[in-house]
């Protein structure tokens, strides 16, 4: 088989989900973003409820440490972690959203935002300062308890 004609396949379910999200976004544009965000929010809520049951407490530090076990340490670095703030930098999007759009990143990040809202507190605020989806060299993401 000719290696140049081999389709690049996703290496995990998150990459596969990212392929689907990008294909739907490419076909329907910004009009589909509310649907993507709603479905991602539901996924995050489900994951947050599950992790909340498994952890000894639901403070931001504990939940952030559990969350950080799921990402590739080669591409994501923890900048700070406390009961008030969790900040990470990432150089590769697990969904493969690099150079798509900031708005698509924000819709997909509803997964993580809702995950922390369910597992920690509905007072969690998500701030996306930089994103590789918008062409930035890295993502700069902060989860913070609103006061």
130 three-class SS = strand
Taking residues 123-141, what's their average pLDDT?
A: 98
Taking residues 120-128, what's their average pLDDT?
A: 97
pLDDT in tens, 73-85: 899 999 999 999 9
Enter the tokens of residue 33.
Answer: 């973003």
Residue 72 confidence class, pLDDT cut points 50, 70, 90: confident
pLDDT in tens, 74-115: 999 999 999 999 999 999 999 999 999 999 999 999 999 999
CB 55 within 8 A of CB 63: yes
In this prediction, residue 5 carries a pLDDT of: 57
- DSSP labels, 58-103: --HHHHHHHHHTTS-TTTEEEEEE-SSEEEEEESS-TT--TTS-HH
């Amino acid at each position: 088989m000719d290696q140049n004609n081999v389709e690049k396949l996703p290496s995990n379910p998150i990459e596969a989900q990212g392929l689907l999200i990008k294909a739907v976004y490419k076909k329907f544009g910004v009009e589909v973003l509310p649907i993507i965000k709603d479905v991602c929010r539901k996924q995050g809520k489900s994951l947050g409820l599950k992790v909340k049951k498994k952890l000894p407490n639901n403070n931001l530090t504990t939940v952030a440490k559990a969350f950080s076990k799921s990402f590739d340490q080669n591409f994501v670095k923890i900048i700070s972690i406390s009961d008030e703030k969790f900040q990470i930098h990432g150089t590769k999007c697990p969904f493969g959203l690099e150079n798509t759009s900031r708005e698509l990143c924000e819709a997909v990040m509803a997964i993580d935002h809702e995950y922390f809202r369910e597992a920690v507190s509905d007072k969690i605020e998500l701030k996306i300062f930089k994103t590789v989806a918008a062409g930035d060299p890295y993502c700069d993401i902060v989860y913070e308890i609103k006061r």
